Structure 1
Amino acid sequence: MGSNWMPADAEKQLRTRAAHDGERLHFQFRWDQPDPGGWIHDMLVYHEGEWRQFATPSPWVSGDDEHTGFYEDRLSFFLDDGTVRGFEEFAGWLTAHEGMRSLPSAAAPDEVEAHPHYGERLEKSDIQKFLPQACAGEWWEGDWREVRPPGELRAMKRRGEFLDLPMWRAHRSDPVGFGTDAYVLDYRHADDGRRTYTSQNWDAGSGPELMFDPDVVNGGALDYHAVSNGEFPTQGSGTYALTPDVTVPFDRNVAEWEGAMIPRRPLREPTGSAADWTASGTWTGEEWVVKMSRQLSTTDPSDTTQLTPGEVYLWAPAVHHGAGKRWHWTGYTHRLGLGVTPERRADLPPPLTAHKVDPAPTAAAVDWDALPTHTTPLVFPGIQSWTDLVEGPNADAVRNLETTMWALHGRAED
């Protein structure tokens, strides 16, 4: 995909219901998605005598007859208690900066690896989402080369100056019944604990470490040619992910055949703060219906926004389909009230209320049909970044927080 590539639909409508029972926050999300196969992700395929990685993007994204990749569908959202300056006005645009991966200005891997913080301390080779406040200078500058010292970043984290980032993943988390959890400060960091997926080692000659149990999946692998022709394993009840109950060591005598396809990402049950969110999704043939739930108060407030009934928080959702990184539809910041209706600002979208319900141990236990639906637009952001906003024609208004992304997109008149 080139930098000028655009999806067929520049906007999606996200239909959200929210609830809390005094102990847990629950969400139900729905959005139209007619393309099947969004639960297939990042596969290793035996092709013409060697193993190859067939990853991003999915065929309906690239439009390429010679496509090979598969990438899962995802839903994510930022959550904040009002501590992060500029988030209410600019949502996820606040976290995308010059130098970030997938932008034309993406920093070269060797430049990142040579950086004392990103390369030497974090052992990264790319720049991902970060807050401009994590960098020296004016609060809005956001030059990753001038990231603050570790002590200052730790102090920001203790003060709650980060964006909580839960995510439902159709392949890498859904089959084990959880979401994944991260936070954005100087980088997009995973929460403490063990997340739902890892990566198996592999090479072109010897293949992967793991495969499907051949008693469960014939031949120990999916058939790439069948899947490419649209014969997808049934979402939710089919076998398409390396969950612990169907995974065995790789045996080339069983699973090395033309078109044999094995996920690169084995799954596992998460632990610690990484396991805060339970999540499940169902593809109906026309739309995704995703439910997510977590405790209001968690065991690790250092990387998770703590929630209290009667208070108002900030929430901004996004949806990925068929590809990662900047190929997504992103939402504006909404005020989210837990049992209360937040005051509406004219330059922000309508607020969302998490209605009080009877005790519900999971999101599936909530009577969703009894709750109103909040519909909000998600837009394709292209390659526009925070850097473009603070250096563009509306720079002064953006830097002084005298406008919002909702207003800049002409929606304040709606």
Structure 2
Amino acid sequence: MLPAPSRYFTVVAVATFWLGTSALADTTPPIDWTSLPVEEITLFYPGQSSFQWLHSREHPGARMVGRGIACKRCHDDAEQSMGNDIVSGGRLEPDPIEGKNGSLQLAVQAAHDEKNLYLRFRWKTQAERPGVMHNYMRYDGQAWAFYGGPRSAMRVRQGQEPPLYEDRLAIMIDDGDVERFAEQGCWLSCHNGMRDMPGEPAAEAVRSHPYLGEGGLGRDDVRKYLPVSRTDTSISWDKVKSPEDLAKLKERGVFLDLMQWRAARSNPVDMADDGFVLGYRLFDDGNNPFSWNVDRNSMTPQFMFDPEKVGKKSLTVSDIETGPEPAALIREENATRYNPDAEWKEGDVLPGRLLSRVDARGSAADNARVAGKWEDGSWIVTWIRPLDTGHGDDITLKRGNTYTFGFAVHDDNVTTRFHFVSFPVVVGIGKGGDITAVQLN
């Protein structure tokens, strides 16, 4: 028998945070979050512990995993020690990042009414500034080039460029249609062959793949996918079922919802993106709140800051290393078309991404009421998710049901597997769970 949920989560007190940013105003009832319980979840550093490793002889618990035993039954209250062990280096982390924490505490609150699920998250960042910088471009006096990157990148490790990468909060949701997600959580979607994982294929091999490459999705790397989307017992990255078979699975509801709040690419316009995982990690139909601000043919920006609105046309290297204001280029608020004759100087910097709340549309824009605030060294993110988005590429949530969630946080300028993850978490909407969404009056 599994231990009671209270052994995994502890109620703590946090400060009041009222919903009320510009994107949320007039559409949301005020919530006194101090009146709602807080569940504190320990997220930990997983390294290269893939689905394949989980079922391999290298994993002492592989036999129990094969029998369907939940991961957290064997690892009760061990997240912090496991994360510290993995992040220090070894077989699950052959390329450790110096100074990186092994775990992170994520405080979660939840409420609901007839239409929406309301979530509030809080976590302390390792860095002393928020990770709001992402895909920046720097002018070297002659040409523009990307500048900075994640802490895992060699050029950053060697001190050639600064660590610049956005903080992120990701939520996976399963309604019971993905076999074993309730027991194994996000490990069901993480595999050898993916970016920064064992057996990562060359970009040329991915581009030549009929489904993933130039004849299909147009990708040159491998991202999340589910075991049911592959045809072999090893769940190999390249053994993908036909598009027709994947479409049938999707129609039956066999997929994971995946939503990501991004401190650089969505938070400045009070949104999060919306996607799903099946044969690959894909965005929902429509337009995200972010796009590229780079002409790939000329490698020049497409937009710059509007001097009449911002007081300057660009940022500087010193700006982005200390936390720029503004950090984001928003088409309808502070941007104007790039002027190549604007007397650009060495060290001028522009965001490589263009944001727009106005241009976001379709199912990809379902998460239109998500607001993050960084204060006292912590992020506070309030997320309003419609129970029924009206789109078939989202999981419909119903009051009186429970769902399995997986949480992940990218913190301290990292991407891909260098994040923190949770074991599966049961969220009840008007029903008991590890986290119970309280009904609003």
TM-score using structure 2 length: 0.73
> Which amino acid counterpart does residue 82 of structure 1 have in structure 2?
G
- TM-fit CA distance, 1:66: 3.0
- TM-fit CA distance, 1:8: 2.4
- The answer to whether the 8 A contact 2:168-2:409 is kept is yes
Q: Is residue 233 from structure 1 mapped to residue 324 from structure 2 by the alignment?
A: yes
- The answer to whether the 8 A contact 1:78-1:317 is kept is yes
Q: Which residue of 1 aligns with 2:210?
A: 116
- TM-fit CA distance, 1:255: 5.8
> Which amino acid counterpart does residue 23 of structure 1 have in structure 2?
K
d(CA) in 1 for partners of 2:152, 2:284:
32
Of the three residues 380, 394, 409, the one matched with 1:304 is 394
Alpha-carbon distance change, 68 to 49 in structure 1, aligned in 2, over 3 angstroms = farther
d(CA) in 2 for partners of 1:31, 1:155:
39
- TM-fit CA distance, 1:144: 2.2
Q: Is residue 45 from structure 1 mapped to residue 135 from structure 2 by the alignment?
A: no
- TM-fit CA distance, 1:91: 1.2
d(CA) in 2 for partners of 1:255, 1:296:
51
d(CA) in 1 for partners of 2:285, 2:375:
34
Number of matched pairs: 342
- The answer to whether the 8 A contact 2:304-2:329 is kept is no
Q: Which residue of 1 aligns with 2:250?
A: 157
Of the three residues 93, 96, 111, the one matched with 1:19 is 111
SS at match of 1:266: strand
- TM-fit CA distance, 1:233: 2.9
Q: Is residue 103 from structure 1 mapped to residue 197 from structure 2 by the alignment?
A: yes
Q: Which residue of 2 aligns with 1:246?
A: 334
d(CA) in 1 for partners of 2:379, 2:286:
28
Higher relative contact order (CA 8 A, sep 6+): 1
Of the three residues 221, 229, 247, the one matched with 1:126 is 221
d(CA) in 2 for partners of 1:240, 1:117:
34
> Which amino acid counterpart does residue 282 of structure 1 have in structure 2?
K
1:308-323 matches, cutoff 5 A:
308-321=398-411, 322-323=413-414
SS at match of 1:354: strand
> Which amino acid counterpart does residue 108 of structure 2 have in structure 1?
T
Alpha-carbon distance change, 59 to 122 in structure 1, aligned in 2, over 3 angstroms = closer
> Which amino acid counterpart does residue 431 of structure 2 have in structure 1?
V
Q: What RMSD in Å do the two structures reach over aligned CA positions? A: 2.3
> Which structure 1 residue ranges, 5 or more long, are not aligned?
343-350, 359-414
> Which amino acid counterpart does residue 403 of structure 2 have in structure 1?
Y
- TM-fit CA distance, 1:63: 5.6
d(CA) in 2 for partners of 1:3, 1:49:
38
Q: Which residue of 2 aligns with 1:403?
A: none
Alpha-carbon distance change, 209 to 241 in structure 1, aligned in 2, over 3 angstroms = closer
- TM-fit CA distance, 1:214: 1.0
1:193-342 matches, cutoff 5 A:
193-202=286-295, 207-228=300-321, 230=322, 232-234=323-325, 238=326, 240-254=328-342, 256-269=344-357, 270-277=360-367, 278-301=369-392, 303-321=393-411, 322-342=413-433
Q: Is residue 353 from structure 1 mapped to residue 353 from structure 2 by the alignment?
A: no
SS at match of 1:148: coil
- TM-fit CA distance, 1:282: 0.4
Deviations 1:324-351 (A, max 9, x none): 1111101110111001103xxxxxxxx1
Q: Which residue of 1 aligns with 2:240?
A: 147
- TM-fit CA distance, 1:185: 0.2
- TM-fit CA distance, 1:69: 4.4
Q: Which residue of 2 aligns with 1:363?
A: none
> Which amino acid counterpart does residue 395 of structure 2 have in structure 1?
T
SS at match of 2:364: helix
Alpha-carbon distance change, 83 to 251 in structure 1, aligned in 2, over 3 angstroms = same
Q: Is residue 10 from structure 1 mapped to residue 102 from structure 2 by the alignment?
A: yes
Q: Which residue of 2 aligns with 1:170?
A: 263
d(CA) in 2 for partners of 1:262, 1:282:
23
> Which structure 2 residue ranges, 5 or more long, are not aligned?
1-88
Identical amino acids, percent of aligned pairs: 31
- The answer to whether the 8 A contact 2:137-2:146 is kept is yes
- The answer to whether the 8 A contact 1:242-1:263 is kept is no
d(CA) in 2 for partners of 1:124, 1:10:
31
